[in-house]
Amino acid sequence: MSIFQKALLLCCLLLLPLSAAAQTKPQIYTIKQGDTLWGISQRFIKDPYYWPNLWSHNPFVTNPHLIYPGQKVAIYDGRIVFLPEFVEPGEGEQPETVAETALPEPQPELTVKAFSSTEGFISLGQLETAGTLVDATDNRLLMVAEDLVFVEIEAPQGLQPGDLYTLIQVGKKIEHPVTGKALGHQTSVVGQVRIVQSTPPIATAVIVRSDKEILRGARLIPSQLPQQEITLHKAQQPLSGYIISGENEKLALSQHDIIFIDLGHQDGLQQGNMLYITRPRKQTKAALQGHHLPLPDALLGAAVVVSTHAETAAALVLKSTDAIYAGDRVITPAE
C-alpha cells in the first residue's frame, strides 16, 4: 500500500465517527395492539396520509393493514422506517425509545370529504341510458343560461320538477390499457339544467349554468352533490384492476385528482373502499445479468372510491408519491 493510500485510509477512519455522530439518532417505537399505519403516521409525522410513503419504503410490509404487536419502527425527523425483525442495534448502541403509551384507538369510522366532480368519464352502459338535449325554443345553434330547452330522458324513478342534470359533451373513446376493449368515453361538462315539466318521453328544462358551448345533442346525466362525505372501509375481498382514465383528459395524475378504474359494483367494489395504486418495478440497467427475480411493485399512492357503476368506478386520489398514469394498477387488499 502506498503512502498516499495509507493517508487516505487514515482520513476516512478519522471521519467515520464524525459522520456517525452527525446523523440524528432515531427513536424506536414498539407497535402495540390496535396500532395502525394511519395512526402511527398521524402521531409521529402529524400526517395520517403519510402511510403510502411508509409502505412504499418498507417492501417487506406486504399488506399495509397487517402490522403486528412487537414490530419496531424507527422514527426520524419527518420519516418512519420499519425495522425488520433481524435488525438489532449495534454493539454498544442505546437508541432512545418513545414512551410506551398506546396510540389512540382507531375510530370506528373514518371519513373523507370528496369535493371533486366524477363526471369526466362515462361508461358504455351509462351512455345508453343518458338523456339527450333535442331542441330549444328558437333556431339559435348555441344555448346559454336561462334558455328553455327540451330533453329526451328516461329516469328509473321518474322525473320530478327541480331535478338537476349535468350536460356533458362526449369525447374520445376510452379503451382498456391491456385488453384494448372499449369501455366508454372521456367527457367534459358543458352546463347544467333543471327539469321544470315532464311529459314523457320529452321533458322541459331550463339551463341553470353554462360552462362551455351548449349544442343540441348534448347528453344528460344526473347531477352529483358538489361535496359528499365518504366513509372509508376495506373491500370484502381482494380486487385488482387498472386505471383507465383521469379527469379533464389529464395525462399525469396526482393528489386530489379523480381517476377512473375498470372495477365496479359487479366486481364487489363499493363506495368508500380504499385503493392502493401500484406500478410494476423494472430492474435497472445495472442489475446483475441472469437474475430475473420479480421485484415488488412500486407504490404510487392511495385513493378512495367515491362512486361506482356496473363495470367502472371513480376514485379520489388521497395521496401520491409519484405521477400516476392510465395503465397503472389498483388493488384493494383485504385482511
CATH code matching the domain that covers 121-222, chosen among 2.40.10, 1.10.3470, 3.30.70, 2.40.380: 2.40.10
Common-topology check for domains 121-222 and 228-332: yes
55 — pLDDT class (breaks 50, 70, 90): low
Q: What is the mean pLDDT of the chain?
A: 78
Question: Is residue 208 within 8 Å of 189, Cβ to Cβ?
Answer: no
* Distant-in-sequence, close-in-space partners of 77: CB < 8 Å, separation ≥ 6: 24
Q: What is the pTM of this model?
A: 0.65
The answer, yes or no, to whether residue 99 has pLDDT greater than 90, is no
Domain ranges of the chain: 14-105, 121-222, 228-332
Residue with the bigger pLDDT between 210 and 225: it is: 210
The answer, yes or no, to whether residue 67 has pLDDT greater than 50, is yes
pLDDT recorded at residue 124: 92
Can you point out the beta strands (E) in the chain?
A: 27-30, 72-76, 79-83, 96-97, 110-114, 121-123, 131-136, 148-152, 164-175, 182-199, 202-210, 219-222, 228-232, 239-246, 258-261, 274-279, 298-308, 313-320, 329-332
pLDDT recorded at residue 20: 42
Of the candidates 228, 144, 243, 249, which has an alpha carbon nearest to the alpha carbon of residue 191?
A: 144
Sheet holding 27-30, edge to edge: 79-83, 72-76, 27-30, 96-97
- The domain 14-105 having CATH identifier 1.10.3470: the answer here is no
pLDDT recorded at residue 102: 46
The answer, yes or no, to whether residue 308 has pLDDT greater than 70, is yes
22 — pLDDT class (breaks 50, 70, 90): very low
Superfamily of domain 228-332: Rod shape-determining protein MreC, domain 1 (2.40.10.340)
